[in-house]
Structure 1
Amino acid sequence: MPKINVYLPDELAEAVRESGVPVSAICQRALETSVKRVTAIRSATIGDLGGEDPTGKLPHFTERARATVKIAIEQARSDGSALVGTEHLLHGIIREGNNMALKVLAATEIDPQKLLEDLPEPTTGDHPADRFSGPLANAFELAVTEAITMGHNYIGCEHLLLGLVAEQDGTGGQALRAAGAELRSTRGAVAAALAGFVHHRDQKTPGDPAAAVAALVGKQLKPLLDRLDRLERHVGLE
């Protein structure tokens, strides 16, 4: 059977040794699940967008994420673009209006409307926009990878945001990075926002959930980023 090396931070490796968990079986199961999800999204983003609901074949997407992709497709067709690109997905995230990605942008002091203003003017035409662009397909795949890494069994708008930030070629990611979005800090903000949302929900705190989430992001983001720094030092990613 082929062997694949898996590198772990020192503290995690020590905890694994002490616990005696079946590392091989766990890794095989996790990798099998990851391969299936990445393969599924790769298959879903290749081919035309015909049919009544082109988002129906996007696996594990939440309703808000599907609505975001639908808006992106509508925007591309309104622009007369031949392809649905990362800039259209960024439009979709912002125009959907009530998703976790927008809360993360607000918490990291990035103005969504300014993002839209800074996007290049679309090249208009009369094309049907019946396919996802290569960069957008890559962004979807990166979003799935981010969700898997976080241990999530769904793809939400926050994962789509991370996919856009991570994808290097599309104008959507370029606009986000120009506005100050950086993958590590955005990833930390997503984790903090999700933790804050769960805390707010469990506490049944009155008031504006978005404001509560933003406040908790500010409190939780620094320790999360500090931990990411330690992990990166352990695996030599500085």
Structure 2
Amino acid sequence: MPKINVYLPDELAEAVREAGVPVSAVCQRALEQAVRRITAIRETVLGDLDDAALAARLPSFTARARTALRLAADRSADPADPASATGDAAVGTGHVLGGLVAEGDNLALHVLRAIEIEPDRVVRELAARPLAEAGGDGAARHFSAPAAGALELAVTEATALGHNYVGCEHLLLGLIAEPDGTGGQLLRSLGAELRLTRRAVAAALAGYVHLRATQAAAQAAPPATDPVMAALATLTERIERLERQNRQDTA
């Protein structure tokens, strides 16, 4: 049976040894799942899929992520795109990155700004680069090999973050992690480092969850005209102010 070497960071390797994790069995299972997912991605014929069919093919992808992929397919079919003009039917990582930006209202764009990369600059850089990548057969519109790899890495990034869905922020991480595609090369040239972007994604998601919880609490709260609730709100505000002052004094 062929052997594949798996290299782990020192800390993880030590933790694996201490826990007695059956590395071979775990890796084999993970690789089987990855092969199935990436094969499904590569075999997806985008021109024949409506939104419902794309959702069935990529069930863990959010609506915004699927919209970005649909926009990516549209970009690759644009006659003005050099890859389309040469008959290359592959949807590349540059197209996927362009689809993320074109979607216009996703978390990946906020993350890009957080790491000081303006989406408008991404658009300009994409326009200056050839986007053709290996993977098209000239007859049907598939994901290129790098784009399929980026989508699989997006699934991996989502899993590592403990998420059961793949959003645009995970697609961004997948593009950065994929080594060969135009999209990742462009992002890395603009300063998108994978670990830094992961931290930005985690921070953005934490802020989003906090905002949603705050909004839900505000909607569920009794009217502010209730005198008891008003008094409690005043007391809570005073306690929080005192706690902030105490932290400043002890700092």
Determine if the TM-score, normalized by the shorter chain, exceeds 0.5.
Answer: yes
Q: Of the two, which has the highest radius of gyration?
A: 2
The size of the alignment, in residue pairs, is: 195
Residue 216 of structure 1 aligns with which residue? none
- Assess if the C-alpha contact under 8 Å between 1:73 and 1:129 holds in 2: no
Residue 69 of structure 1 aligns with which residue? 69
Q: What pairs up with 1:22-37 in 2 under 5 angstroms?
A: 32=29, 34-35=30-31, 37=33
**2: CA distance, partners of 1:144 / 1:52:** 21
Q: What pairs up with 1:74-223 in 2 under 5 angstroms?
A: 74-78=74-78, 79=81, 80=84, 81-119=88-126, 120-122=128-130, 130-204=141-215
| Aligned AA (2:49) | E
Q: How far has the Cα of 1:9 moved from its partner?
A: 4.0
Structure 1 alignment gaps of length 5 or more: 206-238
State the Cα deviation string for residues 83-110 of structure 1 (Å, max 9, x = none): 1000000011000011110110111110
Q: What pairs up with 1:44-63 in 2 under 5 angstroms?
A: 44-49=40-45, 50-53=47-50, 55-56=54-55, 57-63=57-63
**2: CA distance, partners of 1:6 / 1:179:** 28
- Assess if the C-alpha contact under 8 Å between 1:42 and 1:137 holds in 2: yes
Q: Aligned match of 1:42 in 38, 42, 46?
A: 38
Structure 2 alignment gaps of length 5 or more: 1-5, 133-137, 217-251
| Aligned AA (2:161) | M
Identity over aligned residues, as a percent?
A: 46
- Assess if the C-alpha contact under 8 Å between 1:37 and 1:144 holds in 2: no
Higher-RCO chain (CA-CA 8 Å, sequence separation at least 6): 1
Q: Secondary structure at the match of 1:45?
A: helix
State the Cα deviation string for residues 97-129 of structure 1 (Å, max 9, x = none): 1111011011111011111111234479xx566
